[in-house]
Structure 1
Amino acid sequence: MRNERLRIAVAAGGWTHASLAAQAGVDAKTVERWLNLGRTPRRVTAFAVAELLGEDVFVLWPELRQPKATRSVSPELVALYERRADVPVSLFADLMAQARQRIDVLVYAGLFLHEGYPRLRELLRERAGEGCAIRIAVGDPDSLNVRQRGSEEKFGHGIESRCRLALMHYSLLNQLAGVELRTHGTTLYNSLYRADDQFLVNAHVWGANAYGAPVWHLRRNGDGGMFDMYAESFDAVWATAVPVQGG
């Protein structure tokens, strides 16, 4: 299986197989196996390569994050980040780019995605064009819970304006086949970002901005696990959300 995260990082940095191999102290065939066969380098080499590429080593090779002894905590846990700010926006975009069946987004605003990845709308348009079903639930800026969150996070009315700006971004996709945009007024316990059988879950902590709260990366592993719990939570919010008319 190809390592798409690594491929994107290598291409973005203008590296060739040979140039990266020379800097990492391996041969070009080894780099090719990392890219095209999904091989994982030795831990020391992986950290050195990640530093060369300016990427998080655990984004390039998530399997390095979890020691075998801790896997019993949950077989669905790929990685745990202390803060959302520690998660490269490229990981959100990469997971969405790989989605073939479904993309779900549940946020109040989530503008960091648009700010950190200006091609987000184009990416979603491409995925919808390939038959991927996309559901986006953005906070209703006039709802009591959104205003309350602004007060709790000392954001004031800023969160309401960010919700409106998020709606402006996504409304440009609202007329596309396969894309649904709704607003919700629920208490947002977690922001959810789903791409097929993977979830990025941004937990919310009272009084803290979302960028300072933890994120866990889940991959579905059978029925009834953590992944399914968050998928059901999304569906429950979606059922209460109001479709956005027009585009």
Structure 2
Amino acid sequence: MNYSENKVMKAFEIYTNLAREGQVGSDFLSLYIADEDIRGLVDGFVHQVDCVVIIAGELLYMIPKTKLSPFHVNNDYIKRMYLKSGATNADIYLMYFSTIVLFGAFYDSYQTLEATRDFLSIDDWVRLVHDRINMLKEHDEEQLQKLEHDFSYNWTQIIEKWEDMNDIKESAKKQSGNTISRLSFMDTTKRFLISQELIEEIGNNEVTLTEKAKTIVQRFFMEVEYNKGILEFIYQWEEEEEHAID
């Protein structure tokens, strides 16, 4: 297909702004929506760097689709920018796990496309992570090793990292599982998610999902192709409990 030079340059301008800022505003968004040729060109440019384009609210975003993308936020960057010195991959695994739990908390199940709650308190977030890790602990070592192979997640290190934060000498426990160390870690995870424009603080130690996060969840997070069944695995106990009650 032949495109006019003007359309190619307009599309490339949108792409370069996406590459530089990660998002563009309403002017570029309107052009992207209105012109099929420009939209196709932008999508093609973005595809070449293993990214996808999403529309959320009044903004157009470019997000990495795979770890191969040069725009993917890698583990070393997260350690350097957000975690304490000496952080290991276990910190990253726990951060990812906590993020999955946070997203899941806003939906009735891993297959629900629309958010069913408006906000989540940090204390509740910690409690939910604690509950999910306790469920992981119900598996023996052999089962966990198999699950690690199935999902490419190091469940053992996630459990150990969380348990290491449970210092019985800490006197500021608020609820089950809520020690100073755990709350501090969740605050770090919160700051990372805010920087990625996935959550917003709304006061009273509560957060809410952004439109960007909701769009990502709807388009990718609920699809087994992308989440590899991890959400179904994490929330399977919840569904079993609901069926038992019924």
TM-score, scaled to structure 1 = 0.31
Give the structure with higher Rg (CA): 2
Greater RCO, CA 8 A, separation 6+:
1
Q: Which has the higher helix share?
A: 2
TM-score, scaled to structure 2 = 0.31
